[in-house]
């Protein structure tokens, strides 16, 4: 049993798209269909993988631009959290807001991920959903216990955190997500974020100034 991960950095703001595959069954899932659906699809095909599932950490434009075309190319279902639906449906308007031109419509979701620590399985790939809002409504991180990996989207970065100045952002909610959902995963867990470098929970606990300076009070 071997799990392989390919990271593609795509789109206008250099966002990471992750292909996660079971190399025995050749089944793969996509975390954040960022942009360039043909390239994502070709990368999977070149590896001999079939994309069977598309997941989104959240519905900001740079994480879902390829969602509709990739779904059409692969017939793979598209899943995200229900709180992300308004953002998902506003994808054309997000293009106008940031770039002065409309983006194409996003894929319609086939399933809404509503349960904390919901299990997602595809072959040997086993993920758990972690509800981590604050950067965007309905933000989810995907934890893979067997590999000691969390796909953190735009919640936690190497030396930084997700921005909270966009509609629906909330700094205190984001920090609680980090302290309550990500830091308890353990220092050895690798963080594969939506932008910038791969890091670890331990490195961020020790050196991330946003974490070091935040006064967290458990409720």
HEC profile of 108-137: CCCEECCCCCCEEEECCEEEEEEECCCCCC
Predicted local distance difference test score (pLDDT) of residue 33: 98
CB-CB neighbours of 90 under 10 Å: 17
Predicted local distance difference test score (pLDDT) of residue 23: 96
The answer to whether 168 and 137 have CB atoms below 8 angstroms apart is: yes
> Phi-psi category of 183—alpha, beta or left, where left has phi over 0 and alpha has psi -120 to 50?
alpha
Predicted local distance difference test score (pLDDT) of residue 1: 62
pLDDT in tens, the chain (219 residues): 699 999 999 999 999 999 999 999 999 999 999 999 999 999 999 999 999 999 999 999 999 999 999 999 999 999 999 999 999 999 888 878 788 888 889 999 999 998 888 999 999 999 999 999 999 999 999 999 999 999 999 999 999 999 999 889 999 999 999 999 999 999 999 999 999 999 999 999 999 999 999 988 876
Q: What is the pTM of this model?
A: 0.96
Fold observed for domain 3-213: Metallo-beta-lactamase; Chain A (3.60.15)
The answer to whether 60 and 160 have CB atoms below 8 angstroms apart is: no
Q: Where are the domains of the chain?
A: 3-213
């Amino acid at each position: 049993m071997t799990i392989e991960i390919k990271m593609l950095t795509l789109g206008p703001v250099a966002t990471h798209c992750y292909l996660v595959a079971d190399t025995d069954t050749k089944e793969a899932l996509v975390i954040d269909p960022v942009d360039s659906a043909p390239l994502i699809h070709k990368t999977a095909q070149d590896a001999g993988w079939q994309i069977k599932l598309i997941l989104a950490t959240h519905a900001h434009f740079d994480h879902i631009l390829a969602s509709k075309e990739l779904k059409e190319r692969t017939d793979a279902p598209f899943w995200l959290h229900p709180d992300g639906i308004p953002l998902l449906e506003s994808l054309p308007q997000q293009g106008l807001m940031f770039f002065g031109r409309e983006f194409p419509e996003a894929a319609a979701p086939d399933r809404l991920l509503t349960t904390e620590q919901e299990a997602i399985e595809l072959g040997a790939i086993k993920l758990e959903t972690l509800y981590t809002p604050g950067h965007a409504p309905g933000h989810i991180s995907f934890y893979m216990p067997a590999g000691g990996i969390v796909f953190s989207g735009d919640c936690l970065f190497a030396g930084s955190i997700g921005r909270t100045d966009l509609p629906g952002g909330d700094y205190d909610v984001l920090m609680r997500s980090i302290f309550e959902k990500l830091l308890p995963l353990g220092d050895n867990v690798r963080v594969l974020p939506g932008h910038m470098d791969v890091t670890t929970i331990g490195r961020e606990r020790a050196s991330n100034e946003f974490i070091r300076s935040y006064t967290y009070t458990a409720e």
